[in-house]
Structure 1
Amino acid sequence: MTRQATVRHLLMCRPHHFDVRYSINPWMEPEDGADNPLAVRQWVQLRELYKELGHKVEEIDPVEGLPDMVFAANGATVVGGKVLGARFRYPERAAEGPAYLSWFREQGWADLLDPEYVNEGEGDYLLVGDRLLAGTGFRTDPRSHAEAEAFLGVPVTPLHLVNPRFYHLDTALAVLSDTEVMYYPAAFSPESREVLERLYPDALLATDGDAEVFGLNAFSDGLNVVLPKAAERLAAELAARGFNPVGVDLSELLKAGGSVKCCTQELRDS
């Protein structure tokens, strides 16, 4: 298969205020904190890599008191120029939803929805072709699925997450192209594994080791797959399928339960 990269429009947020001050997932240990300057350096390397790959990167200003705002993927879901805002489950992150919606308004995005139900943006909503895969079980309210389907105009397929270490869909599944995904089967309920096997019979399946280094929290432009460099086995499998895996080190951000995809929101203008 001949693969081709597609230029993407991305939104990121510099981790200027990043720290681990509370614990809302199993990765977070506030007593250990985080090295903010190192987190910023690692994030800058990711941003510059996207630019080198030809992608357009915009930035939202970080807000003091919101250490997890760096995880821009959670801030909204954008499909066909429509912006479905985020509503966070935990009060520690609640102000991020309005902050991201304000950015979109200021940038001239007109078709916006402030959601009624909890959804944590592209953390739990991943677009594969014309289908939105929707994670639930830990963060996003299943009632938000109908809200997303009605507003965004694409069919939504629910997937139930069962392992708290993989609390968002983007920690357990990555979109590789309009028809291909890779995922960690043990993160999903038996029923959801059956759905994934039916929809994507040739999917790349991750091992425990791949998942534990957040190898599935990856970004693909159809050719280049940016993922944690520690996911060496997964990178080899991607290369064997004709992708160009590009490893990066976001180890400091992993202390808050995030990596490549968490830092990357895709702005689908049309």
Structure 2
Amino acid sequence: MTATTSTTTLVLPVPSAAVSTPERRRTTRHYLVCEPRHFAVEYSINPWMDPSAPLDTDLALAQWRALVEVYEALGHRVSRIAPVPGLPDMVFAANSGTVVRGRVLGARFRAPQRAAEADHFRTWFQANGHPRVVMPTRVNEAEGDFAWTGDLLLAGTGFRTDPAAHAEAQEVLGVPVVSLSLVDPAYYHLDTALVVLSEATPDHRAHIAYYPEAFSAGSREALRTLYPDAILATPEDAACLGLNAVSDGHNVVVPREATHLSARLTESGYTVHPVDISELRKSGGGPKCCTLEIRA
């Protein structure tokens, strides 16, 4: 099997009711997070990272704690994995696993600086109700490049995750996969350029927001076909990692600078919760990067 087989999902039928605007309904989520106790920018593996720039670790901790407080105030379950010295990017938990319908696919990092994170998360999953974690054979940076829509797994490639990892995800998770090509190195992971706002139901397609210029021409056409009602982000939204957001179907946690996106979300029936992630952004991360969703 090759990754190209996954593109057959592009012709899936869309329910006739999908053109209506559904009520935005919150569902309780389970998130895994990692405190940025050892957070630092010690190397550069994406265009956002500058080891020579000043960094306030205490401020990063405060911003992370405020993010977690938002999740808990919204009634979501938040689990924590202990940070490990020498792994400054472990705070970006989303890169370390993909959980869909109780199945867990681990991560395999492209950058050697982050490679050790994968095994710490594997151990956590095995100790917390997921003994059958499958570790990938291909480079796969998990929810950094995989976005579950409720019926499809959107899968990014171009800078981190191998195209062949998309077919591997389909086999392990047992869900159809749509491959999307990223073309702008500033948006090196899918979760920097696209967010799932509400998942698909029998009556409505999933609702997403994305930044078109981050994708290849063919991927833009695929997204237009699948999600004609998507919210399109502006360059300003993308430049503050505004799409690195977290949604429970009604509440959307978004970087506070993404004002245009926030306005569009409000117009579309969502409740926006702006957060400050200015220090975490210095490593190319935002709310979603810090948040791995565990889907039972």
Kindly tell me the number of residue pairs found equivalent between the two proteins.
Answer: 269
Q: Secondary structure at the match of 1:262?
A: coil
Correspondence for 2:236: 209
Partner of 1:98: 119
In the alignment, which residue of structure 2 is the partner of 1:88?
109
Aligned AA for 2:47?
Answer: P
Contact 1:19 1:33 in 2 (8 A): no
**Structure 1 residues 192-226: Cα deviation after superposition (integer angstroms, max 9, x where no partner):** 00000000001000010000011100000000000
Counterpart Cα distance in 2 of 1:15 and 1:99 = 15
Using the alignment, how far apart are the partners of 1:239 and 1:189 within structure 2? Answer: 28
Residue 57 of structure 1 deviates from its aligned partner by 0.1
CA distance, structure 2, for counterparts of residue 171 and residue 189 of structure 1: 15
1:169 aligns with 2:190: yes
Aligned structure 1 segments of 4 or more residues deviating by more than 4 angstroms: none
The answer (yes or no) to whether the contact 1:81–1:111 under 8 Å persists in 2 is no
Paired with 2:131 and 2:52, the residues of 1 have a C-alpha distance of 42
Give the AA of the match of 1:250: I
Q: Is the 8 A contact 1:76 1:120 kept in 2?
A: yes
Q: Mark the structure with the bigger radius of gyration.
A: 2
Partner of 1:24: 45
For 1:3 and 1:133, how far apart are their aligned partners in 2?
Answer: 21
TM-score by length of 2: 0.90
Question: Counterpart of 1:219?
Answer: 246
| Superposed displacement of residue 110, structure 1 | 2.1
Deviates more, 1:101-110 or 1:5-14: 101-110
Gap regions ≥5 residues in structure 2: 1-21, 200-205
Aligned twin of 2:203: none
The residue type paired with residue 245 of structure 2 is A
**SS at structure 1 position matched to 2:32:** strand
Deviations 1:49-73 (A, max 9, x none): 1000000000000011000000000
Instruction: Quote the offset at 1:4 in angstroms.
Output: 1.6
RMSD value over aligned CA atoms? 0.7
* Cα offset, 1:83, TM superposition: 0.8
- What whole-Å deviation, never above 9, does each CA across 1:148-182 have from its counterpart, x for those lacking one? 00110000100000000000000000000111000
Contact 1:76 1:100 in 2 (8 A): yes
The secondary structure found in structure 2 opposite 1:251 is coil
| 1:181-220 equivalent positions in 2, closer than 5 A | 181-220=208-247
Residue 244 of structure 2 aligns with an amino acid whose one-letter code is N
Displacement of 1:107 in angstroms is 1.4
2:95 to 55, 74, 89: 74
- 1:62 partner amino acid: P
- Aligned partner of 1:232 among 248, 256, 259: 259
- For the residue of structure 1 that corresponds to 2:257, the secondary structure is coil
Return the alpha-carbon distance in structure 1 between the equivalents of residues 58 and 292 of structure 2.
22
Q: Which residue of 2 aligns with 1:41?
A: 62
- In structure 1, distance between residues paired with 2:230 and 2:24: 16
1:159 and 1:30 mapped to 2: Cα distance?
30
Instruction: Tell me how far 1:2 sits from its aligned partner.
Output: 2.2
Q: Which residue in 2 is equivalent to 1:124?
A: 145
Structure 1 gap ranges (5+) = none
The TM-score normalised by the length of structure 1 is 0.99
How much does 1:111 deviate? 2.5
Name 2:33's counterpart in structure 1.
12
Contact kept, 8 Å, 1:87 with 1:119, in 2: the verdict is yes
Partner SS for 2:195: strand
Deviations 1:119-149 (A, max 9, x none): 0010000000110000000000011111100
Amino acid at match of 1:261: K
Give the 3-state SS of the residue equivalent to 1:261 in structure 2. Answer: coil
The whole-number CA distance in structure 2 between the counterparts of 1:104 and 1:32 is 35
- What is the CA–CA distance in structure 2 between the aligned matches of 1:241 and 1:228, rounded to whole Å? 18
**1:57 counterpart residue number:** 78
